[in-house]
Every structure is written in C-alpha cells, then in structure tokens.
Amino acid sequence: MRTIHVALSLHSALLANKISSRLAALPWAAPGTPADVTVTDAAKAGGPRTVAVLPSGAGVEGLLRAGVTGLVLADDPLDDIVRAIHDVHAFGGWVSPRLVSCVLPSPPPTSLTLRERETLKLVAEGRENAEIAAAMFISVSAVKFHVSNLLRKFGCRDRTQLVSRLGRPLPVLS
C-alpha cells in the first residue's frame, strides 16, 4: 500500500472534510485500497506522493525541493484537487494549471520555439498528447516531436521530471 499525503497549508476543517468525503466515494481512494489517502497539516508536507494544497503560489519552490509531487490551490475546484490526488497516485505528479507559471522556468527566448512553448504549457497542465494535438491543431506525431525536444533541452527523462524540476515563471505567451 502506498500512502498519499494531502497536506493542507491552511487550517480548514471544511476543506479537509470536503476532500475526505469526495475521496471516500471513489473506489481507487477508499480506505484499505492501494491509494490510502491521508489529509494532514502542511507541516508534514514533503517527500514523494504528497499533494500540497496551498492558499497561493508562494513557497512552491521550497515544496518542490522537499519532493512534493502534487501542487494545487485551495480555491481550485474540488474536482481538480481530487484529480491531483489521483494523478499523484497513478502517474507520480500533478500541478494545478493556475500554478504552472510558478514552476516553469524562463529559458532564453531563442532556446524554445513558439510551438515548444505552447507544448510546454499544455504538458504542464497535465494534458495528454492527443489533447495537446487538438488544442494546437497539429498531429500527435508533431506533439511527440516537440515534447522530445523539450525533454532534451531541459535535460529531463520524462514529463513528470520536466514539470517537477522546473522552478521559475515561464514568460507569457502572446
């Protein structure tokens, strides 16, 4: 059994109860299942398989250094918080789309093409290749090409590492 910690950085019994209630209704997160989700105080945030629920984007870099693999905002929709918990359990990581700018670096403008920047933003949102292809109006093969270039340029072995290792804001795409 692999425990997933949901660390609340604000003391909200209401939010903790909402998360626990929603998870209790899901077969993959029920007590005694492989997910074994526990909702704890943020003081215990750290290490893999931890989803930090934050009041703002402040402190994200420290949490990433501590090994937190899931980041969401407390005012994100409850479905996003549950998705973060699920994706940390199933895939190893998740970042709220609203926190993407807090975790992505600002590489030199010449190092990434516009399409690579668009792809990077969508990868960081947790989208799959087919979703990225549809959003960018390109083929899945083209998405794979862009993702491969991003992994090479950032020295990462997979998407999770790409998103989790990046720590500075990405420039606004126009």
pLDDT digits (tens, 9 = 90+) for 18-31: 888 887 788 777 66
DSSP 19-59: HHHHHHTSGGGSTTSTT-EEEEEGGG--STTEEEEESSSTT
> Tens of pLDDT along 56-88?
877 787 788 778 888 888 888 888 888 888 888
* pLDDT at site 2: 62
Give mean pLDDT, residues 32-48: 62
| Whole-angstrom distance, CA of residue 76 vs CA of residue 59 | 17
* Same domain flag for 72 and 135: no
Domain count, the chain: 2
* Same domain flag for 8 and 93: yes
* Same domain flag for 114 and 92: no
CA distances from 75 to 14, 53, 100 (A): 12, 9, 15
Structural domain that includes position 125? 104-165
Let me know if residue 144 belongs to a domain: yes
